[in-house]
Amino acid sequence: MTTASQNPSAGRVVQGVLDWAAASLMFLLMAMTCVDVAGRYFFNRPLPGGLELTEITMVLLVFAGLPIVTTAREHVTVDIVPLIRNRWLQRVHLLMADLIGVICLSALAWQLGLRAIRMAAVGDVTSQLRIPLGIMVWILAGLSALAAIALLLRALFPSWSISSGRPASDH
């Protein structure tokens, strides 16, 4: 007999990869900061390209977290219509908010994809370490698209969860 832990769903694998990537980026950010500060104050030699590496790591961390918080419905939210008591109207309100989010995330992914094409075509790189920016922006576009797809699935199937592919509990 095969259990869920022996045969993970594609969603669970994606969730695990995203969680691992975010945790690794956070650790990398911490390690770079420690090396940079220690090098700066003890040896008068900061980490070469430390600012570029920190900027890139921060952006990747934010975008890697986007699909994670989207599927878990852990975004910061503000109730602008808090007095909706009718369950059906609450669902319509949530569906509308989700669909607006899907449109925004899709537009972001699309624009980042266009920007990545332009950056790769002209060979844009960072100023100190010469890291190609086109591939970085492609990664951001892909993570935005993944968040849009996850939010669309949550909008169409409110109890869906990326990690299980099955109903999830909402707060």
Could you tell me if 125 and 103 are in contact, meaning their C-beta atoms sit under 8 angstroms apart? no
Measured CA to CA, the distance from residue 126 to residue 133 in angstroms comes to 7
pTM for the whole structure = 0.81
pLDDT-derived band at 157 (thresholds 50, 70, 90) equals confident
Average pLDDT, integer, range 44-68: 93
What is the pLDDT at residue 167? 45
Q: Residues with Cβ < 8 Å from 164, sequence gap 6 or more?
A: 4, 9, 11, 12
Residue tagged 């509990």 (tokens) = 169
What is the pLDDT at residue 77? 74
Residue 5 burial (CB < 10 Å; 0-12/13-18/19+)? Answer: exposed
Average pLDDT, integer, range 4-22: 74
pLDDT-derived band at 70 (thresholds 50, 70, 90) equals confident
pLDDT digits (tens, 9 = 90+) for 27-39: 999 999 999 999 9
Measured CA to CA, the distance from residue 144 to residue 102 in angstroms comes to 10
pLDDT digits (tens, 9 = 90+) for 72-125: 878 777 777 677 777 788 788 888 889 999 999 999 999 999 999 999 999 999
Smallest CA-to-CA distance from 46 within 55, 56, 37 is with 37
